[in-house]
Structure 1
């Protein structure tokens, strides 16, 4: 088997430079390229998974579904923020609705639930690896991603809109993505522990 000619330093720099992005370029002016999105999905499905269970499902949200999910998203956000002042619900709802609709692309990630608890745990890890693959391919193509585990993925209305049964498929993340400015990573610097702080060599 021949490995692709990718420089070790380049790969490490890609991994180290990736950031979660919350701000995206206007989707009307800078629409996402379908080929680039497919590259991300292709990268995702090559994640390691024990016994090739391939437990992931990806739901690429179109405009009609996005409108319905925006209402679920906005209701959850507004309900949480207006707990101390119910009169503010409408204002919070409208702001949340606009925020969700401004996201260029939404992809929901589901995990097919195995009956065996050990396999189910392994499959969640595999799905997380798939999402990381997705994010790295996106970053390499100058696409920003936010992996959200907010209330929308646990809301029964989301499952109904996707026509999936929560006892069979569990949503584990909402990926919000879009084109980003070149210097996005400079605005979101993160401090990591050193390798020496988290690595233990045992004899």
Structure 2
């Protein structure tokens, strides 16, 4: 599918329901390649991708379960197992889950906030590429993604952190109508 960039930006929507149909690895690699063209200050390219398909998603499920278990006050037996099974199932909501990690550069000029921004820009490129190639995607985050146990589950270094869990698949829903505040309400012009 060939799509103009402005059309892709305006047409992209969060797609939370996708089919479980497999996605060709070359197509996922195409999305990752697009992500790597995001800007980064001093060209540090501070991103890393963890692609999970099939039973590879079990690692994410285990991360969700570990985080939930740590947050539970009490619980034993069937109720606990049901809760942990529900947490593990979150990893299987799409045929492909891409963990996007900010892996900051050791360049002394690198500013942490800019490294995070670059990794998040890579996420936007990935989302636009998914849309342009007929795929649906949702950028998931939330407390479990930032929890030290999730980081530990994936063996991330001390300075690394997830910035997104992108669930990707062929859409199984109609995109919702988008609403945006007028750009004039969000813009200040300073002119001479």
Structure 2: segments with no counterpart, 5+ residues? none
Superposed, 1:163-202 pairs within 5 Å as: 163-165=155-157, 167-181=158-172, 184-185=174-175, 188-202=176-190
Cα distance in structure 1, aligned partners of 2:91 and 2:55: 13
Name the residue aligned to 1:162.
Answer: 154
| 1:136 to 1:152, Cα distance in 2 relative to 1, 3 A | same
Residues 39-90 of structure 1: per-residue CA shift (max 9 Å, x gap): 111110011111111111111124444213212214545776x77x958544
Structure 1: segments with no counterpart, 5+ residues? 1-5
Cα distance in structure 2, aligned partners of 1:118 and 1:190: 35
* 2:134 matches 1:146: no
Residues 67-122 of structure 1: per-residue CA shift (max 9 Å, x gap): 13212214545776x77x95854433333333422421111111123466961111
Task: Give the conservation status (yes or no) of the 8 Å contact 2:36–2:122.
Answer: yes
Cα distance in structure 2, aligned partners of 1:162 and 1:64: 15
Q: How many residues align?
A: 187
Deviation beyond 6 Å, 4+ runs, structure 1: none
Task: Give the conservation status (yes or no) of the 8 Å contact 1:113–1:170.
Answer: no
Cα distance in structure 2, aligned partners of 1:62 and 1:23: 16
Please state how far the C-alpha of 1:184 moved relative to its aligned partner.
Answer: 2.6
Task: Give the conservation status (yes or no) of the 8 Å contact 1:73–1:151.
Answer: no
Name the residue aligned to 1:91.
Answer: 82
Cα distance in structure 2, aligned partners of 1:76 and 1:61: 19
Name the residue aligned to 1:133.
Answer: 125
* 2:91 matches 1:100: yes
Name the residue aligned to 1:21.
Answer: 15
